[in-house]
Structure 1
């Protein structure tokens, strides 16, 4: 069974793959919309898992040992909201609209920045405060939530 941090890193690789496929789409609004739909569902499911399960466990486990955990997790939640908002904005734009390319670049940068912050601040904290047993239970919950959202198969 994969540790939850390993599974979340796999998710990040899947998101990067979708971004690569988006960059390769040549003007097909249908293909582009389908990829943004997959990305939106995937990121919504990932956000739901992280906020309801992963961040909650990190916050509870680290509260006594790590000052600033609420600030770090609050920033991550705020980044989730911004990314979901950007995804909604992009799907409302025409692929030929120059604003679409700018919005996509902004989205990619926001996602990468979020992933980097998690890797630098939240994952190391989680590795210290969450037991392997709890991490494996979280992986099972993550996978069940992903299946329920029917996103892992489509990414």
Structure 2
């Protein structure tokens, strides 16, 4: 989280981090606390990333990219599906027989979303925006991730205005809960 660079470099670095975590999940043979810790880490990164994209990336896509409304709506729909899966995983015991299929579903959804962004959305955004606009968006994304929630909140509004207003408070509560429970420290 917080890699530096323009918005595309920042988000692509996030994508590579999540892909690394997915590789660790695929290679993991055990269950228990080690699996819970890794699922929590994946959840934290995906939630922060999604909130930041919804606050700044998708509004920029709507504003600058021809056909941007449809692109942004599709990506927000992807996020909603991922957040529902994350919420189920958060409640699930690692010994549950549905854990592995649910993790596969998560990885498939996120991988498809990443490919779509990197092959379709990012090139169109790069063409539509100046380097200065892309740098400014990168700064905004980094700030948003630092204050974003760390737990899925599927019922939370996904509109940029509501998210900018509510996410810092939810993020503060989530980080306090994480501190008390030790979640995300591994």
* Short-chain TM bin: 0.7 to 0.9
Return 93-102 or 118-127, whichever deviates more. 93-102
Distance 1:58 1:149 in 2: 20
Which consecutive residues of structure 1, in runs of 5 or more, have no partner in the other structure? none
Return 91-100 or 38-47, whichever deviates more. 91-100
Which residue number corresponds to residue 10 of structure 2?
7
2:58 aligns with one of 55, 58, 65: 55
How high is the TM-score relative to the length of structure 1?
A: 0.86
How high is the TM-score relative to the length of structure 2?
A: 0.73
- Does residue 101 of structure 2 align to residue 102 of structure 1? yes
CA shift for structure 1 position 149 = 4.6
Aligned length in residues: 150
Distance 2:41 2:148 in 1: 11
Specify whether residues 108 and 16 from structure 1 end up closer, same or farther in structure 2 by C-alpha distance, changes over 3 A only: same
Return 128-137 or 73-82, whichever deviates more. 128-137
Specify whether residues 91 and 70 from structure 1 end up closer, same or farther in structure 2 by C-alpha distance, changes over 3 A only: same
**Do the aligned partners of 1:90 and 1:100 also contact (CA within 8 Å) in 2?**
yes
Which consecutive residues of structure 2, in runs of 5 or more, have no partner in the other structure? 151-183
Matches within 5 A, 1:126-137: 126-137=125-136
